[in-house]
Amino acid sequence: MYVTHVDSVREYDVSIKGAYRVRVKYLLHKGVGAERIQFRLFTIDVGGYTSLERHEHEHEVYVLRGRGIVKSGGREAIIEPGSVLFIPGFEEHQFINIGNEPLQFLCTKETSEIPEALKVDEG
């Protein structure tokens, strides 16, 4: 068993090209024993957005706070606290904060890799 508190987990700036004012906390990942899933907490500051991307893994998302737009599969939807999303693998997607406070959401990623940011910290 592994137990921690969200306040004890280091936050990283997302440095992916096309992302602006985005941070992430890797809550669960292979480095702590989660062999198949990364469980992440994203924060998108006011005026920020993730990169428009497409990849093999799917996402399951739960919005905790803020207001945003998700673009996915050629469609757009408003998201707010309590919104639950599923984004299939290979579907192009992007999150945009349209509110006056940070947009914060939990997001899964199916992978057995340790996050790159954590590898850099260890190296």
Q: What pLDDT, on a 0 to 100 scale, did the predictor assign at position 109? A: 93
Residues 6+ apart with CB under 8 A from 100: 46
Write the CATH number for 16.
Answer: 2.60.120.10
Q: What is the pLDDT along the chain (123 residues), one digit of tens a residue?
A: 999 999 999 999 999 999 999 999 999 999 999 999 999 999 999 999 999 999 999 999 999 999 999 999 999 999 999 999 999 999 999 999 999 999 999 999 999 888 888 877 765
Domain holding 14, by residue range, is: 6-122
List the Cα angle 2/10/60 in 5-degree steps: 65
State the Cα–Cα distance between residues 72 and 55, nearest whole angstrom. 12
Is 24 within a domain? Answer: yes
Residue 97 covered by a domain: yes
Domain count, the chain: 1
Question: Would 20 be classed as within a structural domain?
Answer: yes
pLDDT of residue 120: 72
Task: Please give the Cα distance from 95 to 76 (Å, whole number).
Answer: 10
Q: What pLDDT is attached to residue 123?
A: 56
48 given a catalytic annotation:
no
Q: How far is the C-alpha of 65 from the C-alpha of 71, rounded, in Å?
A: 18
Of the listed 107, 114, 117, 119, which one is catalytic?
107
Q: Specify whether the CB–CB gap between 70 and 50 falls below 8 A.
A: no
Q: What is the pLDDT of residue 107?
A: 98
Could you tell me if residue 1 is inside a domain?
no
